Structure 1
Amino acid sequence: MSNRFPIADWFRHSSPYINAHRGRTFVVLIEGEAIAAGQGEQLIQDLALLHTLGVRLVVVFGIRAQVTQALNERHITPLRHDGRWVASDAIMAQVERIAAQQCLWLEARFSLGLPNTPLHGSEMTVVSGNLVMAKPLGVRDGIDFERSGEVRRVRSGAIEKLLKNDALVLLPPLGFSSTGEVFDLDAADVAMQTAVALGADKLILLGAEAGLQDNQGALQRQLTPAEAECLCRQAQPGSETARHLGAACFAARHAVARAHLLSWRNPDALLGELYTRDGVGTMITEHRYEQLRPAELTDIGGLLELLEPLEKRGMLVARSRERLEHEINDYRVIERDGMIVGCAALHAFADTRMGELACLAVHDDYHGGARGEMLLAEAERQARQQGLSRLFVLTTHTVHWFLERGFSLASMQDLPTLKRDTYNHARKSKILTKSLT
C-alpha cells in the first residue's frame, strides 16, 4: 500500500510560485454569479490562503446576478443600451442595497476564524470605502444613462497604504463623485482600472467560462492582447466574455504584467492557475518573455553557448554542432527574451518503449525557477504521446535531483541494447529510470 500523498508533491512543486508571488499585487474580480451559485465560500478560503502566503490582494466583487433577481421580483425592467442598463433611481436603490449587503457578507466571511474552519487563525483585516471615484456616463446616442457611471480615478495611494498595512482591500462596483453622488459601475471596469492604477502584477477575472478556446475546443493558455482583441470584437456587447476580454486586453497593454481568465465553476481554478506549472485558464500578456517550445536550427548557437560551460565542468557529454543539428527535433528549449536559458532532449527507443532524457540543462543565472521541472514534465508528456512507457537518464552530477522527482537507480541491464552497447564506462554515469504508467 502506497504511503505517497499527492498533496505533498503538489506542495513541493508549488514552492517556486509561492516565492514568486510573495509581495506581489493581485487584483481579483469575483462576479456576482459566482456567489449566487454558492462558490463564494471556496473563493474566500482560497483568497485568504493567498493573503497568508504574502500576496497583496484587492478584491472587486460584482452584483449583476443579485440585482437582476431583485429587479425581477419587483417587476422592474431596466432599459439597456450598448451592454449597460440605465441606472434609474429605482434601479440604483437596489444596486446600493445589494452592494452593501454583499460587502458586509464578504467582510463577515473573511472574519470567520472558528477552529474547524480553513480561515482559523488568519486574522485578516478587510477594508472597503470610497476608493474609486466616478463620473456619469451622461447622454449617449440620445439615451440619458442617469446614475450609470464609469471610473474617473482610482485612489491608488490610499489603496497602497492599506496594502502596506497588510489589509485586503474590498471594492464594490460603485463609484463616488466629488458632488457626493453614487454611481453604478461595471465591476470588470473597476477591476481593470484598479489594476492599471496600482501597476498590479496580475489581474484575475473569475467568470463563468474556463478561459478561451480555439476552433477545436482546446484551451488557449496564452494570448497577446492583439490576439485576444480579435475574439473580443466577436463577442456580444455587454456579455461577460466581452467585458472580461476588454478588461484583460486593456490591462495587459497598460503595464499589468499578466491578466488571467478563469472559471469560478472550477473550485481549484484560482490555486491551480497560480501555483501549478501549466495553469488552468487563459493568460493574456503583452510580451511572451519566456516560453517552452520545440527547438529550431536557429537555436543551435544558443544551445552551444548554454551547454559549453556544463561540458567543461564534466556535467554533460560534449555535443558538436553537427550532432545538435542532426538531433534538433528531439530538443525542447526554454527561450527568455531571445536567449536560450534551458533545454532537454528526448531520444526514443521505440522498440523497447523507452526514452532517454538527455542534455537537461538550465543556465546558471536561471536556477530556482522550476525550469528543470518544466523541461522534465515536457519530456514526460512527449514520451507518453509517443507511446513510451519508461524514461531513463545517465548522470554523473545530478543523481539526487532525479531521485527526488520519481526516478530510481537502475543497472546496465535496464537500458535498451543499443544504449548499453554505447555506454561510456570511463564516465561511470549513474543509471536511473522512471515509469510513465
Structure 2
Amino acid sequence: MNRKFTAAVGIALAASLSLASCSSSTEPNENESSAPNASTDAPGSDEKVKLTLSGWSLDTTPEFQLLADGFTARNQNVEIEVIQYDATDYNTLLTTDLAAGKGPDIITQKEVKFVSTFQEGGQLLDVSDLTLPEGIGGVDSYTIDGKLYAAPYRQDVWVVFYNKDLYEAAGVDIPTGNWTWDDYTKTLEDLKAKLPADVYPQYVHGWQSTVQGLSNAQAGADILAGTYGHLAEDYDRQLAYQDAGLQVDFNTRNSNQLTYQGEFGTQKAANLLMGTWYTATLISQQASGEAQDFEWGMAPVPQRTASNTPVTFGDPTGFAINANIDDAKLEAAKAFLEYAAGTDAASALAGIGITPALKDATVVDAYFSADGAPTDELSQSAWSTYEAFAENPTSSRTATIQGILNDLHSAVLSGNTEVAAAITEAEGRVANEAP
C-alpha cells in the first residue's frame, strides 16, 4: 500500500525558531514545507456540499468554527455545520449518534483512548491516502495496524501557567526552565508564606492526568504493562500538598465544582498545571473580562531530575471521517482533513493561542504574536522545547485501563484508600478486566 501520511517523530521544530530560548530536543526536518496548502482545495461544483463536524463548548473553543470558516472561504462550494456536543459526555453522546446513523460526517477525536473503540466499531474511515505535512505531530496516535484513521490538527502538551503579578507581589522568584519537583515544592511553600490566605500557591484540577500523565511520562512507564508502582511518589507528593494547604484539596474541589479557568483566571491560585489549550481560553477570557487582568506566563513542568529538555506529556486532537459518509461528500471531507493539518490552518490556530500539531517558524511566530499571549523567553521555551510522551496509547485496552486508573486517582486523593493499597487494587483489576 502506498502510504502518503507521515509518521510523527516527536516534536520537530525548524532550526530557525529564534523565539525559543534553547534548542529543540529533536532534529529539525529539512523537508518540512511552509507552502500554502493548495492541494487541500475541494473540487469545484455548482451544487453545495454540506458537511457536519462535531465539536464541544463552542463559546470557549473557537477552533472548530475557525477551521470550518477557513476551509469554506477557499472552497465556496462547501458548507460546514459545527454540531455541538456536551464536553463532559462527548464520547458517549457521539457513540450513540453514530450507532443510530445520525453521526457527523467529520468526527473530532477528543480523546485518543477512544480511537480504537471507534475504529473497532467500524465507525472510522481509513484515510491512509491523505497527504499530511512533514514534521506534523500526533500521527502515530491515529495509526492502527499500519492504517491511518484520523488526521491531527493540534498537539497540546502540559506546562505550568503562573501568575507573574502574584509572584512579584509575594517577592518570590519566577520559575526557571529546569526546576525539579523539590524546587517547585519550595516555591509553593514560599508563596504560601507570603500570599494572602485566600490565594493558594497552586490549583490542581481533579483529572487523573494532573498526576498520572506526568508520572507515566517522567517514569517512562507504559500503562498497558499493568504495573503502577511508579505512581506512588507522585501521589504521596499530592497528598502532602493537600495536607500543607498548598492547593485546594480534592474533596473540596469536587463538592464546590471548581474550575481551573475560574481559580486561575480570578487569581485564586498562583500556579496551574494544565495543557497548552488553556492559552486560548485565558486570552479570550481576559479580553472579555471573565478573567481578571494580570500578567502571566508558561514554564516547563517540574522534573524528577533537572534537565534542559523537560519531559512532559500530551495527546493530539484530530479529525476522522465517518465510515458511513455519503460518497458525494467524501472528497470534500478528506480535503478538510488535509487543510486542518496544514500550515495555513496551523498558523490560524496559533494566532488565537491554540497549539497546532504542525510547528514551523511561521506557526511559532503566529502563536506568540497573538494579542494577549506572553512574550517572555521562558514561555516560548516551555511551548517549544520538550520531550513529550503520549498519555493514551492507541489500544482497545486503553479506555478500560484508564477507567481503572481514574478510580485509583479518586480513591487516593479523596483519602478513601492508601496509596499502596490503591495501586495493588488497580494492578489486580487491570490483570482481570483488561488482560
TM-score bin, normalised by smaller chain: under 0.3
Give the structure with higher Rg (CA).
1
Greater percentage in strand: 1
Structure with higher RCO (Cα < 8 A, 6+ apart): 2
